[in-house]
A and B are shown apart, each in its own frame.
Chain A
């Protein structure tokens, strides 16, 4: 069965610090998809990135970057020069490409990031 683990329940940093959110996943499939979502205090879930299992290139989008390593089954998320607006709960999620499971997302427990001024 697929599983996503976000071992860091809460992280607190001071503005302008870099912070890395860890995500470790388990799957028996060779084809799968990984996602990150952000849930700000207002409650909605905001899509950040989608990555398929065949693309191990790291990705950078502004202050955000993602490091995908199949060898360690990890898909970590780094925020550079954090800002107070980055304060939110961040979820890592996995979707397996199986006929029987549809496109369901399996979410990790989430990491509450607090950026203090």
Chain B
């Protein structure tokens, strides 16, 4: 158990809908990361937050947004869902997330299926 929690574990929804994925980092960790794992794209970095502020952005679609709250939990919002958004979404956390690239510990993931 990495100490990172993600809810829900599975999510099935329809095209055009909006969903919210939730992540709680390990106790004491300030950085939260979101990654998408799909068959065609592999594991892709989406976005990083550090202590409530956006730190780095990857290949995140405009239909997707994220935020980190004062209690350091994070939410990833996916809207206008398309079939191609079906994937496993991972949250990870690390103590600092600065230039020293400290170890990221991953949650169990949320499996999103868009029908």
Contact = CB atoms under 8 A, between A and B. Distances in A.
Interface of A: 31-33, 35, 37, 43-47, 50, 52, 91, 95-107, 109-110
B94 A103 contact: yes
B43 A107 contact: yes
A10 to B, nearest CB: 15
A43 B50 CA distance: 26
Interface residues of B, number: 31
Contacts, number: 75
Most buried by A among B94, B97, B100: B100
A93 to B, nearest CB: 8
A47 B105 contact: yes
A37 to B, nearest CB: 7
The 10 A-B pairs with the shortest beta carbon distances in the complex, nearest first, are: A102-B56, A95-B101, A45-B106, A107-B43, A33-B101, A104-B45, A97-B99, A102-B55, A102-B48, A103-B97
Secondary structure type dominating chain B contacts: strand
Interface of B: 2, 31, 33, 35, 42-45, 48, 50, 55-56, 58, 88, 90, 92, 94, 97-109, 111
A103 B68 CA distance: 16
A105 B45 CA distance: 7
29 contacts: A31-B99, A33-B100, A33-B101, A35-B103, A35-B104, A44-B2, A44-B108, A44-B109, A45-B106, A46-B2, A46-B106, A47-B2, A47-B104, A47-B106, A96-B101, A101-B56, A102-B50, A102-B97, A103-B33, A103-B55, A103-B97, A104-B33, A104-B45, A104-B56, A105-B35, A105-B45, A106-B45, A107-B42, A109-B42
